[in-house]
């Protein structure tokens, strides 16, 4: 019975955090917010997660495991950014759009995505592709006006295909 209770509380904390992520930027979200909304004490939270970052990693991992079962690896090789953008779950699209405006969330999100995709990579060409995608993220972050990963994914796929950044000879 203890395992069932633990699992139910774990899911309750994840669900509660998901609800809060719809209205509070991740950088402003605290363990206290989660505990108050979930009606649990901090010790309960810390029995399940080290901190809010680990909790977010678990949320992202769960979503990526669903994605992994549906991904077409050949499409990913050809258009990795487009393929990832197709796997935005409709019910979480507005939450993701909202949270990706928060730099702390964005960094945590993409790091978790790359970590999971790296673990799922079945060949070295996928690992190279993931490395190239990370370089594109770094390049994009260095721009005075960065492109949107949700809207400009075709541009990022073009950079992968052409092996050339726009405006750089």
Weakest mean pLDDT among 54-63, 103-112, 119-128: 119-128
The token pair that represents 76 in the structure block: 């990913």
pTM, full prediction: 0.70
Q: Which domains does the chain have, with CATH numbers?
A: 2-162 (1.10.357.10)
The token pair that represents 118 in the structure block: 């790296």
Contact call for residues 129 and 77 (beta carbons, < 8 A)? yes
CA distances from 51 to 13, 30, 43, 74, 116 (A): 12, 9, 11, 36, 19
- Please state, in angstroms and rounded to a whole number, the distance separating the CA atoms of residues 146 and 137: 9
**Quick one: pLDDT at residue 163?**
92
Per-residue confidence band for 11, with pLDDT thresholds at 50, 70 and 90: very high
Weakest mean pLDDT among 29-33, 43-47, 111-115, 124-128: 111-115
For residue 133, pLDDT over 60 is answered with yes
Average of pLDDT values for 11-26?
A: 95
What number of other Cβ atoms are within 10 A of residue 9's Cβ? 16
């Amino acid at each position: 019975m203890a395992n069932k209770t633990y699992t139910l509380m774990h899911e309750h904390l994840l669900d509660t955090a998901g609800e809060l992520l719809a209205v509070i930027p991740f950088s402003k979200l605290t363990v206290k917010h989660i505990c108050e909304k979930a009606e649990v004490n901090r010790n309960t939270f810390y029995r399940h997660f080290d901190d809010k970052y680990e909790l977010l990693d678990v949320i992202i991992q769960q979503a990526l495991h669903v994605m992994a079962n549906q991904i077409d690896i050949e499409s990913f090789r050809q258009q990795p950014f487009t393929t990832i953008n197709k796997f935005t779950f409709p019910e979480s699209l507005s939450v993701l759009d909202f949270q990706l405006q928060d730099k702390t969330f964005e960094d945590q999100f993409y790091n978790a995505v790359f970590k999971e995709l790296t673990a799922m990579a079945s060949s070295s060409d996928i690992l190279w592709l993931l490395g190239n995608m990370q370089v594109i993220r770094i390049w994009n972050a260095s721009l005075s006006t960065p492109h949107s990963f949700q809207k400009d994914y075709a541009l990022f796929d073009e950079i992968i295909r052409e092996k050339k950044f726009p405006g750089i000879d």
